[in-house]
Amino acid sequence: MSFLDILKMAGGNFLRRKARTLLTVAGVVIGTMAVVIMLSIGQGMEKGYIEQLQSWGSLTQIEVYPNYSGNEDEQTYLNEETVTTLEALDHVEVALPTTRQYGGLIMGRKINDLGINGIDITKLDYYDLELENGEPVTAEMFAENGYLIPYTSVFQFYNPKQGWSDENDPYIYDEETGERTLKELPFDITNPDEARVKMAFDMSYYWGGEGNKPKGYDVRCAGVMSSKAQGNFSYSLVMDMKTLDEMYKKYQKDNKIDTKESDKNKNKYDSLYVVVDDMNNVTDVQAEINSLGYQTWASAELLEDVQEQMGMIQAVLGGIGAVAFLVAAIGISNTMVMSTYERTREIGIMKVLGCKLSNIMTLFLTEAAIIGFAGGVFGIALSLGLSKIMNMLSDSGALAMFSMGEGIPISIIPIWLIVGGIVFSTLVGVISGFYPALRATKLSALDAIKNE
Amino acid sequence: MNAKDDIIIDVKNLRKVYTIGTERVIALAGIDMKIRRGEICCLFGPSGSGKSTLLNMLAGLEKPTTGEIAIGGARIDKMNETQLADFRRNHFGFVFQSYNLLPALTALENVEMPMIFRGVDKNIRKKQAVKMLQYVGLKDRIKHKPTQMSGGQQQRVGIARAFVAHPPVIFADEPTGNLDTHTTYEVMDMMSAMVKKRGSTMIIVTHDNEIAAYGDHIIKIRDGKILEESWPKQQIAAAE
């Protein structure tokens, strides 16, 4: 008996008992939905946590620190050699150095205290810089003492004699709801006619400290960084590290600061990030960097804990859904056992006519598998719909308390869950059909045709 | 070839004992018989004589308690369930008193059934089944379900199903038990003509004298034993 014939026969048997077949399939639909929706909520939670982690720094980045052990021999530094060494490691895409100086901007009588980051503009693409106006950040921007300024920093020019005022707050607060909204930029800082700005390194004069008014150096604002930026570059200026270095040396010379004293510090860079090709390789690369004598931190360290916790939550959620599936499986078994009772005579006739036992077995397993498959397909379709509704409710605020954050859906159904759901329900169908199928093959052919 | 040597069914000392509770019921008490190829053999006797039990055992549907059954040389008493199913599929056709058609299937599909089990190609088996239904006079009932047909029509579908795969042996258990006299003759004529045309062997179980008259070889059974064996047509032929 070919499988096509078995399939045709199985299909015919369903059409004879439409109501019962539909009810059994409905049970599987509910079971599938229970499992899929529960797991999709788990997926949503996991995604929420991962996004939260990412907001603390990219999950593929490792921050590298020198080893301050105090022992001269073991002391390590961050310099060009370090970058070369780290970039030679497997899975490392690039090592991103940053230098840092403290100083500020001077605009007429107003000042703005800021950190200044120097970056390696040959690796510009890796620094994750974004402009508020959406234009790409290019190396040309950093020419002629060009710098980028964070959106909120544009507001923070103040007169040191008067101190901060409301003007320096980049946000407007709604008194009733307490919600804050970002103000529009007060002036175009990139236009030198509108804002004549200079950079200085020692602002202590303005804070009432000793000494002279610092000398301001000519700089050019090339752009305002995105207000949505997070991490290192959301509160400091960004420049080409070469430019920053030259300016700082000039400052040292102008103020007769002993450069030899400061050369003792062999750390050329103030921080160093290593970008790894894949999240899963972070731990290995981290261990390797540690063995080279550096200290490291990666937000991916937290990821493992989160993933472990999420695995447990998913197992619990899936387990709850599985109860509904178990009930559905019993439903399939029940339907198929009933079917063998009703079709005792038919099975008997088939056996007398010499139908192979394996064919009868396959026939019943196929019928059970069809119930499972159909239930799986409809269950997935309805789950996709329900998932969409849940996410819409979450966006509109009705289910916001379950949401992991703005714009993060409550329920996520990935492709593997769709395919897995259908395969699983079909498999459950086959397993549920096993006992009834075995029962059918064991029916006595003679008894079956004897009873009138 | 010597006709006596062409034995298709050879039964030796066949016994069947049922145990019902503590009671032992002897259904067959030592049957020895030989059926020749091409014969129409009637197992003739009243109900309870053991004739149906004998047929079931010849057809491999029931295991003998002791004794041997050889069909075309194959010892079916030694076969397991799977082997018996294979043997039935490839060598036997069945006609039942209550027709035993599959109610969900059409006449055509019912006739196709033995060939479906044999794995015959779809087009070939359809052509054969149509031809067979045409032969039994049901060409215009091909798409009908059993419930839409009279008893006589259903039994003709049953006959078509039994013969369609050209089995060498046909078993018929009270094939006309549910039919009126007119239809009985129609059905019996049809079956015996087919058997003769094909040279196949048919074993009919009956308690009806008129049916027994179709037999070349009549075995009268009573209380699980062979009471009398006769070959009326040979005697007639010899007398003439």
Domains and CATH numbers, chain B: 36-63+82-239 (3.40.50.300)
Residues A355 and A213 in one domain: no
Interface of A with B (CB under 8 A): 1-2, 5, 12-13, 16, 345-346, 349-357, 359, 445-446, 449, 452
How confident is the model at residue A193, as a pLDDT? Answer: 85
Instruction: Nearest by CB to A2, from B59, B119, B161: name it.
Output: B119
Both tokens of A425, joined, read 């329900």
Residues A206 and A346 in one domain: no
Q: Say what the ipTM of the complex is.
A: 0.91
Residues A401 and A327 in one domain: yes
Residues A340 and A288 in one domain: no
How confident is the model at residue A404, as a pLDDT? Answer: 63
Q: If pLDDT is split at 50, 70 and 90, which confidence band does B1 have?
A: very low
User: Which of A269, A298, A327 represents a domain boundary (last residue)?
Assistant: A298
| CA atoms of B141 and B143, how far apart (whole Å) | 6
Residues A108 and A226 in one domain: yes
How confident is the model at residue A132, as a pLDDT? Answer: 87
Q: Is the pLDDT of residue B29 over 70?
A: yes
CB spacing of A350 vs B113 below 8 angstroms:
yes
Higher pLDDT, A176 or B169: B169
Residues A365 and A382 in one domain: yes
Residues A44 and A96 in one domain: no
How confident is the model at residue A370, as a pLDDT? Answer: 94
How confident is the model at residue A261, as a pLDDT? Answer: 56
| Lowest pLDDT segment from A8-12, A394-398, B78-82, B178-182 | A394-398
Total domains present in chain A: 2
CB spacing of B86 vs A356 below 8 angstroms:
yes
Decide if B81 touches A, using CB distance below 8 A. Answer: yes
Low-confidence ranges of chain A (pLDDT < 70): 56-57, 69-73, 230-232, 259-265, 397-407, 451-452
Instruction: Nearest by CB to B81, from A357, A359, A452: name it.
Output: A357
How confident is the model at residue A380, as a pLDDT? Answer: 96
CB spacing of B86 vs A13 below 8 angstroms:
no
**Chain B partners within 8 Å of A350 (Cβ):** 102, 113, 117
Instruction: Note the pLDDT tens digit of each residue in A140-169.
Output: 889 889 999 999 899 999 988 888 888 888
| CA atoms of A352 and B161, how far apart (whole Å) | 13
Secondary element (H or E) of residue A84: helix A80-87
How confident is the model at residue A407, as a pLDDT? Answer: 67
What are the E-state strand segments in A90-206?
92-107, 110-119, 146-150, 171-173, 180-182, 198-200
Residues A197 and A265 in one domain: yes
User: Which of A250, A269, A298 represents a domain boundary (last residue)?
Assistant: A298
Residues A116 and A254 in one domain: yes
Range of the domain at A355: 3-55+305-450
CB spacing of A359 vs B90 below 8 angstroms:
no
User: What pTM, to 2 d.p., does this model score?
Assistant: 0.70
Secondary element (H or E) of residue A282: helix A282-291
Residues A45 and A76 in one domain: no
**Mean pLDDT in residue range B158-183:** 92
Comparing alpha-carbon positions, the chain A residue that sits nearest to B88 is A354
Residues A155 and A141 in one domain: yes
| CA atoms of A20 and A27, how far apart (whole Å) | 11
Residues A51 and A176 in one domain: no
Both tokens of A10, joined, read 């199985």
How confident is the model at residue A383, as a pLDDT? Answer: 96
CB spacing of B96 vs A449 below 8 angstroms:
yes
| Chain A contact probe: residue of B88, B115, B159 with most A CBs at under 10 A | B88
How confident is the model at residue B2, as a pLDDT? Answer: 46
H-helix segments, chain B = 51-58, 81-91, 107-118, 122-135, 151-163, 181-198, 209-212, 232-239
CB spacing of B100 vs A349 below 8 angstroms:
yes
Tell me the three state secondary structure of residue A451.
coil
Instruction: Nearest by CB to A346, from B102, B119, B161: name it.
Output: B102
How confident is the model at residue A68, as a pLDDT? Answer: 72
Comparing alpha-carbon positions, the chain B residue that sits nearest to A444 is B61
| CA atoms of A341 and A440, how far apart (whole Å) | 9
User: Which of A272, A298, A324 represents a domain boundary (last residue)?
Assistant: A298
Q: Of A291, A254, A237, A281, which Cα lies nearest the Cα of A119?
A: A237
